[in-house]
Structure 1
Amino acid sequence: MSVSEPTLPDIAVEVQSAPFSMAYGYESALRQRTDIGAIVTFTGLVRDFNETPDVTGLTLEHYPGMTERTLTQIAEQAWQRWALQAVRVIHRVGDLSPGDPIVRVLVASAHRRDAFEACDFIMDYLKTQAPFWKKEHSKQGAYWVKERHTDQQDAERW
């Protein structure tokens, strides 16, 4: 019986102002692999409502360097908790309009349950731990978005 080398986590994190495609992450996660049986993705979009019913835009700010490190740490935690083959996280910053994609999380695993749970975990922790700040713009003016109590509750279940 041979002892296999531990595989390094296949994790990629990006924070950028440029738009990303809805196919983001698939090609790099698959790379002609046959050990992946499930890919779960989540894509968050800018809504035209939130704290006010007439959101016209969103400005996302972040702490460069720290944000990427935090997202990587969250992905690594998921890697340790579930049997995963690949994790991709991309998050936009800057000025966005309703309908624009903000965040995309892709999780690949041999089995669907691991992929679903890890993707959910990553989003819950991203919402509560990653250093992003949202300013919404509405017809009444701009305001900073407050943290939701439900986001913290979602993260605490893990």
Structure 2
Amino acid sequence: MVKVIEFATERGSRSVVVAGHSAGAHLASTLLSTEWISSIKESAKLLKALFLISGVFDLQPLIGTYVNAALSLDKIEAASVSPMLNLAENKGKIEVACQVVVGEYDPPSFKDQSEKFYKLLLEKGYAAELKIFNGYDHFNIVEDLRNNAYLLSQEIVKLAFS
């Protein structure tokens, strides 16, 4: 991410917006759990928004599932890479709009984790919104991003140019 911010700074970009879906939302949310922000100082203001779409923010529930066959996480490792358990206090380090997005028909575990992570973001001092997209599930919530008329596409573009 440091290289992305450096590249954006060199090119005179007005903002950087990061979006991730499912495991990608997990990865995007880890940007808030690390100290990389302090290494880029003033350039950190370029990071305007994170769109965390139908994310997995606590990996511990995956341990007993088929998903963990590829990951091979134990309980300690799962906890150590779970943004839900490692979110840093903001303390004014970064002004990033955190958009936690979930589909109405997402599986209950995704909805639950999204709601809990949204509340945690607020507790830790981040600007956050929880958005539930009616009529969408875990997959079609991102399929429509190619459509300029899709509300989520419009919100991403709006924050990128704000």
TM-score by length of structure 1 reads 0.25
Structure label with greater radius of gyration: 1
Instruction: Provide TM-score, normalisation by structure 2.
Output: 0.24
